[in-house]
Structure 1
Amino acid sequence: MDTLVFLGTGDAMGVPRVYCSCETCMEARTDGRNARLRSSVLIDNGSDFLAIDCGPDWRRQMELQGLRSMRRLLVTHAHFDHIGGLPEWADACRWMGYRGELYAPAEVIPVILRQYPWLSSHIEMIPCDDGIALDGWQISTWRVNHGKNGYSYAYRLEKKGYAWVYCSDSISLGPEETKPMLGADLLVLGTSFYYEAAELSTRSVYDMTEAAELLKLLKPRRTVYTHMSHDVDIRKDYILPEGVTLAETGMRVALERGKS
């Protein structure tokens, strides 16, 4: 059975914020439940794993899981909090003597290489716009609105009748963007705030109140919110739709119906 593991559940800045003394950040400094590394997950099949995104906390995430090598990665978009760990991964590939496999939409790959032009010496860059199959998962990807930050990509993974979607960075999605999310057994969705008061044009990720409206349309069997800022205190009893869970570092979710 495959298991989804949450390596990081934080937004672009992580939690705690270095400058902040709010209750959430102070609790996070005690290695509490609110301590959040940048958002990333892996799919553990029992003998190997496939990761999604590789932010600047990659090394610490690997250490926390007791992992010493990573061979395959999906990338959602080329923002620092999702690719900042690529140089460390490339260095690990060099020392371990293998080429990593990085899968991303074709337009994302040159953006990555402009920032880190040496990566291709140790990592194979493989476009996945037309879909790929890895570990028995049929994987498709499509562009989603990332608000003021441009665009990101979501992934839908299907295997043995189970389908789940990873969409960490999106907002104000239209019908064509949400269509591939319909009928999912699990939706992993980025929600940076419970309620974000800032003007919509200045924002880039759903808040939880907006996500609740989205879920009424998508009707996933289960939803996990991730990519959370220090506005979210995991200890609070938020009003959330049925079937919604807030992700925590190290949380594991069985990718099989009837399991949790």
Structure 2
Amino acid sequence: MKITFLGTGTSQGVPVITCDCAVCTSLDYRDKRFRTSLHIDHQGTSLVIDTGPDFRMQMIREGIKSLDAVLFTHEHKDHTAGLDDIRPYNFRQKKSMPVFGRKAVLEQIQREYSYIFSAQKYPGVPQVDCVEIDENPFHFNGTEITPIPVLHYKLPVLGFRIGDFSYITDANFIPESSFKLLEGTETLVLNALQKESHISHFTLDEAIIQAQRIGAKNTYFTHISHKLGLHTEINRQLPEGIKLAYDGLTLNLS
């Protein structure tokens, strides 16, 4: 399984428009962060978790020529705003794109992209097959995917687990039942927004506590704000086995 971080930034991305802080003006490419998204290549099946506003450039940058399905964690625009850009995959693959999400997520997508689902479609609109999921494991192309329910303040969000890899973004609470689903995780991706307290995201210290409880061999933090600090400086402060992810980072997992 190959994991590629398409984006590791928060809803505004990094750099933030109008900001001249040390992170936003950094020349380190690891401090340049598109909105959070992930690509998974598992035994030849190509999956993307979330299609944010930067989806087009992310897929071009990584040269991803095929895409079999999209998994949505939740309905916020920084995770859904790039859905229209699946069109080239429709054209190339000559089929609709399966899109997996909770009922509320799919309903919001159908409202925001009403032209996709119109009875009289404009020529060339994206071809989408909405597949409703809940908290139960499901299969796609022979791959078992286990949803991991978490809370983003009061909004239900789904993380996802495939094999020994688990991915959680946009969360500030993991219920006990989800900790059980995370047992045995070898590689974990978890959101860590900033150092200061936040209403709907784990802070850096909170994310470290959660990561150490889960006990994965390797943990990578994502959904990072410019307020967290410079990549190299924060990385040096992290416990063994925990690192900041960055855009374009790839992991080859057995």
Output the TM-score relative to the length of structure 2. 0.88
Contact persistence 1:167–1:189 (CA under 8 A): yes
Deviation by residue 1:132-155 (Cα, 9 ceiling, x = unmatched): 22354311114311016x221111
Give the deviation of 1:83 after TM superposition: 0.5
Partners of 2:249 and 2:172 in 1: CA distance: 24
Deviation by residue 1:143-196 (Cα, 9 ceiling, x = unmatched): 311016x221111112xxxx1111011003231232211221111001111x11
Task: Give the equivalent residue in structure 1 for 2:209.
Answer: 213
Give the counterpart letter for 1:211 in structure 2: A
Contact persistence 2:197–2:203 (CA under 8 A): no
Please list every run of 5 or more consecutive structure 2 residues that lacks an aligned counterpart in the other structure. Answer: 118-125
Give the counterpart letter for 2:227 in structure 1: D
Deviation by residue 1:48-84 (Cα, 9 ceiling, x = unmatched): 5111111010000011012344331111011101100
Pick from 112, 116, 122 the counterpart of residue 119 of structure 1: 116
Give the counterpart letter for 1:154 in structure 2: G
Contact persistence 1:188–1:224 (CA under 8 A): yes
Task: Give the equivalent residue in structure 2 for 1:77.
Answer: 74
Contact persistence 2:46–2:66 (CA under 8 A): no
Contact persistence 1:146–1:152 (CA under 8 A): yes
Partners of 1:168 and 1:41 in 2: CA distance: 10
Residues 1-260 of structure 1 correspond to what in structure 2 (within 5 A)? 2-27=1-26, 30=27, 32-45=29-42, 47-89=44-86, 91-96=87-92, 97-120=94-117, 122-129=127-134, 130-147=136-153, 150-158=155-163, 163-193=164-194, 195-197=195-197, 203-232=199-228, 233-236=230-233, 237-256=235-254
Secondary structure of 1:108's counterpart equals helix
Distance 1:138 1:94, change over 3 A: closer
Contact persistence 1:157–1:164 (CA under 8 A): yes
- Structure 1's consecutive aligned runs of 4 or more residues displaced over 3 angstroms after TM superposition are 45-48, 93-97
Give the counterpart letter for 1:77 in structure 2: H
Distance 1:92 1:118, change over 3 A: farther
Identity across matched positions, percent? 30
Output the TM-score relative to the length of structure 1. 0.86
Aligned pair count reads 242
Partners of 2:3 and 2:141 in 1: CA distance: 13
Secondary structure of 2:29's counterpart equals coil
Query: Higher mean Cα deviation, 107-116 or 71-80?
Result: 107-116
Q: Cα RMSD between the aligned structures?
A: 2.0
